[in-house]
Structure 1
């Protein structure tokens, strides 16, 4: 089962390979203000170290969204796999060829 999980991870990671790059480089047409409360000490330390808090929060949110999407995709794939086992390899090859011809 671990081999299946690692290959599934590879598929999911390939799908999201450029997600961060796209989200970080895409120019946003509009923004939304959110408010986050942090301790005074944390804010003071970030300022002292010249940490761009907005950038850190944005990157963390992008990473959390990507992780949630990967989890959702893996769940969907795992839900579909049992039904896919009923189709033979030859059947898959035939279906793929038919789909390619339709393009």
Structure 2
């Protein structure tokens, strides 16, 4: 942020005070409304992320083989691309929301 030059007299100090108040207001608004456009983009990027079985195992704190078995039987929604299993973060979140295992 650029600072205004100090102008002699009360108007110069008033200008600096007004800019300081605007800066404080922006900081306060950022704390109250943390979902900025950049945060929303980051959140969307994470939701569209494609995960490997190892990443899913780490997120769910399960064994890698257990995750593969759940992929194969369709318990966890995933796709096999070539010989590799992949699961979208969105599908994993939906699975976690719908399951009663954690309740």
Q: TM-score normalized by structure 1?
A: 0.31
Q: Considering fraction of residues, name the structure with more strand.
A: 2
Q: TM-score normalized by structure 2?
A: 0.31
- Relative contact order (C-alpha < 8 Å, sep 6+): which is higher? 1
Q: Considering fraction of residues, name the structure with more helix.
A: 1
